[in-house]
Structure 1
Amino acid sequence: MSAPLFADTLKLTRSAPNLWSGEADTLFSNGDNRQFGGWVAALLLKAVLGSGKPTQTQRAIVVHFLAAVRPGALAVRVTPMREGRSVSYWQAELLQEESVCVHAVITLGEGRTDPFAVTAGGKPDAVPPDTPGLGRFTPPVPFGKELQARWVEGAPFEGAAPNRSVFWSGMTKPNRLDAAKLAFLADFVPPRIFYAAQKFVPSSTLSMTVYFHATQAELDAVGEDYVLAEAHARRIEAGYWDHSVSFWSPHGALLATSEQLALHRG
């Protein structure tokens, strides 16, 4: 029996048209009574995919983290902003006690044959994730126990500069790659301020964007395997930092790209 899709591990129940209910999963907290942002993004994406047209798939998610998601009950409210024949735009909000904690705009769209299809650049050179000697750092918090990383270049707290890191990214429990898992892994990139300071500095994601490029066949081909993440920092200034990340399959397909803006309190 094959492992479940990651989205199937996210528990949501439709409680009314365009309204879903659930509960914060304590396995994916950060140890400070706050939910990991990648888990939240994946949950919002699942709700929209469960509400939109089945012929339209994920194209982009832009998430704004307005307030911490705490342990306990939550609701996800989704609103179609525009449902077109080929492309649709949805608003998704995560609420706790009637307060909006997270807001997202999610784009869905149908695919088509494209004679101009091309991927600029290529997968970074990287030894396989089972190569002996690769670093295995994950955050020492509850959600870190659910993740696995094999560091090819630029592991945290080892003297690397903040400008680039490359690592294999996966999960402890077997589950197959889908769009929700890509949204989840997009937030599993150590804050670039860790590299500049060479120590832990409290940091909070303000905004995260994920663009989904993978075809269904490419997602299926990855299955339970690791994906390769290549992160680039650009600037740390005035208490904020940003980075961009590309996610590649072991077979060389560009699966997704991500942008993030965060605040640090160092």
Structure 2
Amino acid sequence: MTSVFDAATAVTSDDSHQGRWDADLSDGWLIGGGLNGGYLLATVGRAVRAALPGKPDPLAISAHYLSASRPGPAEVDVRVLREGGSVATAAAELRQSGATRISALATYGDLARLAAGADDVRTTASPPDLPPPDDCVPNSVAPVDLEAASLLQRFDMRFHPDDVGWAVGEPNNSGVMRAWFRLEDDREPDPLSLLLVLDALPPVTFTYGAMGWAPTIELTAHVRAVPAPGWLRVTHASRNMAGGLFEEDCEVWDSAGRLVAQSRQLARMPRPVG
């Protein structure tokens, strides 16, 4: 059976336009003033993958969000810039009603092939310290204005108990949010779905009591490995909020304790929805 995520990010080739892929953006991924940026990035990523046979995995994507996307028909135009032996690079644009919503540059390859014979890992990074999922706080604690966001029904998130004071009007001013993550129908994670995970948690500004929709301006994602099955551990953090903007760094760790994806995005400070 096709998972909800796979169905919602599906694309089909438009035979009348070379390099164009048609999509039907689902209303099940709404948050704030539009569709979630990670969901949109995964949809773009699926079109790029379809245009690059033999290179199934996103390695790096930098996406600029030009305007909010809405549910309904869309197209993704993919232009291959370089086709190499192990990696390929393409430019992609997601459009709706003649307007460009996202402009992206992506490099793809085969993560399993690239990792073959490269077992050495040198890192100072460490996974977030999270209690077991059953001892964490589920996303059902979201305040009323967020419960209406269909995005929250698409996955199971279990927040660190220290990081959810914002949900009851007691933000901890930490600039850090940590949670367990898995898709709603237990679809196992893969490199493409990691593009969604990197933008799935609430904005880290919530930890300062700054609630509301925080539109992404630009997001750069690095996918580092094929994730193992099971729960993912996710951390969002910000060190600087100024001039109406904030940066948000994300790390995703798999059940084997590996860092499988990273991102940094620049976003606007939260604003009321409407």
* Fold conserved between structures, TM > 0.5: yes
CA RMSD of aligned residues (A): 2.2
CA separation of 1:135 and 1:173: change in aligned 2, threshold 3 A = closer
Give the Cα separation in 1 of the matches to 2:91 and 2:188.
26
Which residue of the other structure, out of 180, 185, 195, is the alignment partner of 1:183?
A: 195
Query: Across the two proteins, how many residue pairs are aligned to each other?
Result: 256
Q: Does the C-alpha gap of structure 1 residues 214 and 262 become closer, same or farther in structure 2, counting only changes over 3 Å?
A: same
Can you list the C-alpha shifts for 1:211-248, whole angstroms capped at 9, x where unaligned? 10113xxx2x32xx321012221100010001111111
Alpha-carbon distance in structure 2 between the residues aligned to 1:59 and 1:156:
35
**Residue 50 of structure 1: SS of its match in structure 2?**
helix
Following TM superposition, by how much is the alpha carbon of 1:255 offset from its aligned partner in structure 2, in angstroms? 1.2
1:80 maps to: 80
Structure 2 counterparts to residues 99-114 of structure 1, below 5 A: 99-110=99-110, 111=114, 112-114=116-118
Residue 124 in 1 paired to residue 136 in 2?
A: no
Cα shift at 1:130 = 2.1
- Three-state SS of the structure 2 residue aligned to 1:63 is strand
Q: Percent identity among equivalent residues? A: 24
1:83-232 aligned within 5 A: 83-110=83-110, 111=114, 112-114=116-118, 116-131=120-135, 134-136=137-139, 137-138=141-142, 139-140=146-147, 141-152=149-160, 153-155=162-164, 157=166, 158-196=170-208, 198-215=209-226, 219=227, 221-222=228-229, 225-232=230-237
Paired with 1:13 and 1:100, the residues of 2 have a C-alpha distance of 19
- Distance (Å, rounded) in 2 between the aligned partners of 1:171 and 1:135: 13
Q: Which runs of 5+ in 1 are unaligned?
A: none
SS at match of 2:200: coil
Q: With structure 1 as the length reference, what TM-score do the two structures score?
A: 0.87
Equivalent pair of 1:156/1:190 in contact (CA under 8 Å) = no
Asked if 1:256 is matched to 2:257, the reply is: no
Deviates more, 1:140-149 or 1:205-214: 140-149
State the match for 1:44 in structure 2: 44
TM-score (norm 2): 0.85
Bigger fraction of residues in helix: 2
Whether contact under 8 Å (2:57, 2:192) holds in the other structure is no
Q: Which amino acid aligns with 2:137?
A: L
For residues 264 and 122 of structure 1, the distance between their equivalents in structure 2, rounded to whole angstroms, comes to 28
Return closer, same or farther for 1:72/1:5 CA change in 2, 3 Å cut-off. closer
Q: Partners in 2 of 1:256 and 1:57 — Cα distance?
A: 12
What are structure 2's unaligned runs of at least 5 residues?
A: none
Distance in 1 separating the partners of 2:119 and 2:211:
47
How far apart, in 1, do the equivalents of 2:13 and 2:79 lie? 14
AA partner of residue 26 (structure 2): D
Shift of 1:6: 4.1
Q: Cα distance, 1:10 vs. partner?
A: 2.1
